[in-house]
Amino acid sequence: MKKISLGLLGAGEVAQLIHLPVLRQLQDRYDVVALYDPSPSVLSKVGMTWNIPRLYGDVEAFLADAGLDAVMILSPDQFHGTHARAALQAGRHVFLEKPACLTIADLDALIAAHRASPLVAMVAYMRCYAPAFTQGQKLLGQMDEIRYARVRDIICEGPWYFQNWSDVATPEDDIPTNILTAGRAARLADLKSVCGDEASPAILKAYEVLTGLGVHSLSALRVLLGAPRRVISAHVARGGLQINALLDHGDFITNYECVIDDVVRFDATIEVMSGREKLDIHYDTPYIRNLPGRTIFQQSTETDNTIQTFGPFYKDPFRVELEHFHDAVTNGIPVQTPLADATADLELCRHIIAAAQRSTP
């Protein structure tokens, strides 16, 4: 099998807890040859732990590394567009963590930069690669007309899981101040360009939650049932950590619920209902490797009622998406989660925010 020489742009939580362990299992497909991070302490700790030969504190020098075939963009969201464009310009295939970008303008510029390119660019919507999700896609074909969908992201955030069970190297106050200041300013400018200059802190936070967490579910919903036509109504509460939205698909609606709190559970579920069937797709926290997903399918008739459970599926969605990226780069198969499709997800996040702003007294 042809191996891809890979560089990681960003060595934070997702790199350390998720991608590097999965890449170690995929050594038949990938050689991790280079790492960039602006924190010298994180760079050297992660480089040493994972035995990565070339370490960079400068993005341009990293991308100019002649040994790189492909780059994983694992930097903060506000840099995704800039870093992915620079990677494409340097001739590297791009695996881009979600959200693709924070703004549609940034994503449009990235799509334009990729348009004439033979390089692969893939958005890492890992839930779309989860075996529980692909099983759900198959079962959907057995369902009658869809009447209702419920999508939930009711979770305790990642740090509870990994602070208790894993080691993560964090910057020792050593990221250059100009990089930190520019990063905060760029993030705030992006949030305000979407939510408005006068947006409340709760609305700004809600947009971060939607693009950080919600976009996982909203992209999976789009792939499964199509993008909603409009947002009927939305509400933001608890400083932006609670979001509700009613989404109109034409023939049915989706009720989206998002709550981030401190109850330790990860309820990320998509439920789809027809008149006599119900499909449930369950995901677990991504921060503990190989937790199983499952798919439950209920079928009722006038005289009978069955519930089938598929799984538990132990194959890690992050492994599936990296196998897919390898296949796209080495065999030219079309990417299942291309850049252009992410536009609909950012549009939906923006419309949910606009509806919440309209409903706030």
Ligand X SMILES: NC(=O)c1ccc[n+]([C@@H]2O[C@H](COP(=O)([O-])OP(=O)(O)OC[C@H]3O[C@@H](n4cnc5c(N)ncnc54)[C@H](O)[C@@H]3O)[C@@H](O)[C@H]2O)c1
Contact footprint for ligand X (CB under 6 A):
10-15, 37-39, 42, 74-77, 79, 97-98, 124, 126, 171, 175, 179, 183, 212, 286
Least spacing, CB of residue 50 vs ligand X, in Å: 14
Least spacing, CB of residue 207 vs ligand X, in Å: 13
Which residue's beta carbon is nearest to the bound ligand X? 12
**DSSP state for residue 335 in the 8-state scheme:** P
Nearer Cβ to ligand X (12/81): 12
Nearer Cβ to ligand X (43/245): 43
Nearer Cβ to ligand X (43/143): 43
Least spacing, CB of residue 280 vs ligand X, in Å: 20
Nearer Cβ to ligand X (42/149): 42
Residues 6+ apart with CB under 8 A from 109: 81, 85
Nearer Cβ to ligand X (47/139): 47
Least spacing, CB of residue 21 vs ligand X, in Å: 13
Nearest-Å Rg of the Cα atoms of the chain is 20
Residues 6+ apart with CB under 8 A from 143: 272, 274, 277, 279
Nearer Cβ to ligand X (179/333): 179
Dihedral of alpha carbons 287, 283, 132, 338, sign: negative
The amino acid occupying position 141 is G
- Give the span between the Cα atoms of 38 and 178, in whole angstroms: 11
The amino acid occupying position 110 is L
Peptide bond into 99 cis (omega under 30): yes
Q: Which of 233, 220, 207 minimizes the C-alpha distance to 344?
A: 220
- Give the span between the Cα atoms of 357 and 343, in whole angstroms: 21
Least spacing, CB of residue 145 vs ligand X, in Å: 33
Least spacing, CB of residue 175 vs ligand X, in Å: 6
Q: Which of 328, 317, 139, 300 minimizes the C-alpha distance to 216?
A: 317
